[in-house]
C-alpha cells in the first residue's frame, strides 16, 4: 500500500470534497493517508502528494522544490475554472490575477497528473496539462440513511438556499419567488432558510420578513449538511456563465444524498444530472421559480417522489463508489498524450 498526502488550500468545502473525503476513502483501501494545509515533516517519504489549487507564490516555490528534490508523484487538483472568473466576483478576479494564473499553469505543467471534478473543467485544463482526469465529488454513504418526513402536515415547511460570498451573486434570480413563498398562506406556514450569508446580507438582497432566516457562514461541512438536512425543498439559482459551466453540480449531490427535491437553474452542470419533473426541476426563466416552489409546497407526494428518486440515484455518488478512481489517479502509470 502507498502513502499519500493531500496538501489542502483551505479548510472549507473545497478541502472537504477534494482532500478530506478522498483521504478517508483511500484509507478504506488500506493506504496511509494524511491531509492538511502543511506538508508533513517527512514529506520526502510520501509516495504521492496531492496539491489542491497550488498557485500562491510560496506554495508554488515548494511545488517546484518537490519536483526537483523528490521522486513523489505530484497530483494537482482543481475544482473550479479560475481561468474564467466572472467579472462580477470582484474579489476573486483580484486574487486570480495574471500572476496567480501563470503560476497555476506552470504548476499544472510540472504535475504528473491533474485531477478535477467535471468534464467541462477538464476540457479547459487540458490546454495546460497532458494528463487530466475527472473524479467527481462524493459524500459518505451513511447520509443516504437519514430518514425524511415528506408527508407530515401542520408543520412549517422549509425552503433552503446555501452559498458563499462567491455565489451570493447567483441568489437574486430567486429572491422574488423566495419572498412570496415565505408569505404563502399554508397551514403551518413556509420558512425560507439561508446558509452561508447573514441576516444583513439577506436584507441587502431584498430577502426579509419573519419567515426568512439566515444562519450565516458554517465552516464545518458536517454541521452545514446537518442544517441543510432540515429543508423540505432546496433551490440552487445560477447564472449561465463560463465559470459556472465548469462547476460540479454539488448542490445536486448534497440535496440528492439527503433526499431533498431540488430546483436548479437550467445550466450545464445541473442539466447533466436533472431530468425535469423526474428527479428534480430545472428553471429557464425567473417566473418559474415561484411556480415550482408553490407546486412542491402544495404537493407532499410530489416532494416524496422527486426526493426519493434523486436519493436512489445518489448511491452512485458516494465515496465508497469513487475511491478506486482516486487510487488510480494517485498510483496508476502516467498517461502521455499522443
Indicate the pairing of strand 157-162 with strand 3-7: unpaired
Residue 334 pLDDT exceeds 70? no
State pLDDT tens for residues 205-254.
999 888 999 999 998 999 999 999 999 999 999 999 999 999 999 999 99
pLDDT at 154: 81
Name the residue among 123, 102, 114, 120 with its Cα closest to residue 52: 114
Kind and range of the H or E run holding 6: strand 3-7
Task: Count CB atoms within 10 A of the CB of residue 70.
Answer: 15
Residue 122 pLDDT exceeds 80? yes
> In angstroms, how far is CA 299 from the centroid of its own chain?
29
Residue 336 pLDDT exceeds 50? no
Q: Provide the β-strand partners of residue 159.
A: 192, 233
Residue 13 pLDDT exceeds 90? no
Q: How far apart are CA 122 and CA 119, in angstroms?
A: 5
CATH class given for the domain over 142-317: alpha beta
C-alpha separations of 125 from 7, 76, 132, 258 in Å = 20, 11, 7, 31
Percent of the chain predicted with pLDDT > 70: 98
Q: Where are the domains of the chain?
A: 3-138+319-331, 142-317
Q: Which has more confidence, 278 or 154?
A: 278
State pLDDT tens for residues 274-316.
999 999 999 999 999 999 999 999 999 999 999 999 999 998 8
pLDDT at 240: 95
| Cell representation of residue 10 | 483551505
CATH 3.40.50.620 fits 3-138+319-331, yes or no: no
Residue 332 pLDDT exceeds 80? no
Query: How much is the average pLDDT of 49-68?
Result: 97
Query: How much is the average pLDDT of 15-33?
Result: 96
Query: How much is the average pLDDT of 128-138?
Result: 96
C-alpha separations of 168 from 80, 177, 325 in Å = 16, 16, 32
- Determine whether 17 is exposed, middle or buried from the number of CB atoms within 10 Å of its CB (0-12, 13-18, 19+): buried
Q: Which has more confidence, 86 or 32?
A: 32
State pLDDT tens for residues 160-213.
999 987 789 999 999 999 999 999 999 889 999 999 999 999 999 999 888 999
Residue 335 pLDDT exceeds 60? no
The pLDDT mean for the chain works out to 94
pLDDT at 65: 97
pLDDT at 333: 65
Residue 27 pLDDT exceeds 90? yes
pLDDT at 315: 86
Amino acid at each position: 500500500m502507498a502513502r499519500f498526502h493531500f496538501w489542502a488550500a483551505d479548510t472549507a468545502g473545497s478541502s472537504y470534497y477534494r482532500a478530506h473525503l478522498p483521504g478517508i476513502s483511500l484509507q478504506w483501501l488500506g493506504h496511509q493517508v494524511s491531509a492538511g494545509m502543511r506538508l508533513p515533516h517527512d514529506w520526502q517519504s510520501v509516495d504521492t502528494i496531492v496539491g489542491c489549487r497550488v498557485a500562491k507564490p510560496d506554495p508554488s516555490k515548494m511545488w517546484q522544490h518537490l519536483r526537483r528534490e523528490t521522486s513523489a508523484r505530484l497530483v494537482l487538483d482543481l475544482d473550479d475554472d479560475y481561468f474564467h472568473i466572472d467579472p462580477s466576483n470582484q474579489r476573486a478576479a483580484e486574487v486570480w490575477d495574471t500572476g496567480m494564473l501563470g503560476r497555476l499553469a506552470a504548476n499544472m505543467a510540472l504535475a504528473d497528473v491533474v485531477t478535477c471534478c467535471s468534464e467541462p473543467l477538464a476540457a479547459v485544463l487540458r490546454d495546460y496539462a497532458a494528463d487530466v482526469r475527472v473524479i467527481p465529488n462524493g459524500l459518505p454513504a451513511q447520509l443516504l440513511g437519514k430518514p425524511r418526513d415528506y408527508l407530515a402536515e401542520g408543520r412549517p415547511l422549509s425552503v433552503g438556499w446555501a452559498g458563499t460570498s462567491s455565489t451570493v451573486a447567483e441568489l437574486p434570480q430567486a429572491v422574488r419567488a423566495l419572498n412570496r413563498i415565505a408569505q404563502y398562506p399554508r397551514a403551518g406556514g413556509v420558512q425560507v432558510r439561508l446558509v452561508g450569508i447573514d441576516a444583513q446580507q439577506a436584507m441587502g438582497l431584498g430577502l426579509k420578513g419573519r419567515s426568512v432566516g439566515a444562519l450565516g457562514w458554517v465552516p464545518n461541512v458536517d454541521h452545514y449538511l446537518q442544517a441543510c438536512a432540515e429543508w423540505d425543498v432546496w433551490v440552487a439559482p445560477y447564472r449561465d456563465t463560463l465559470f459556472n459551466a465548469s462547476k460540479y453540480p454539488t448542490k445536486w449531490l448534497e440535496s440528492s444524498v439527503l433526499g431533498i427535491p431540488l430546483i436548479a437553474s437550467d445550466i450545464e452542470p445541473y442539466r447533466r444530472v436533472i431530468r425535469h419533473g423526474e428527479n428534480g426541476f430545472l428553471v429557464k426563466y425567473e417566473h418559474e421559480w415561484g411556480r415550482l416552489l408553490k407546486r412542491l409546497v402544495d404537493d407532499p407526494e410530489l416532494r416524496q417522489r422527486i426526493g426519493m428518486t434523486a436519493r436512489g440515484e445518489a448511491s452512485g455518488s458516494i465515496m465508497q463508489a469513487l475511491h478506486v478512481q482516486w487510487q488510480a489517479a494517485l498510483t496508476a502509470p502516467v498517461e502521455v498524450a499522443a
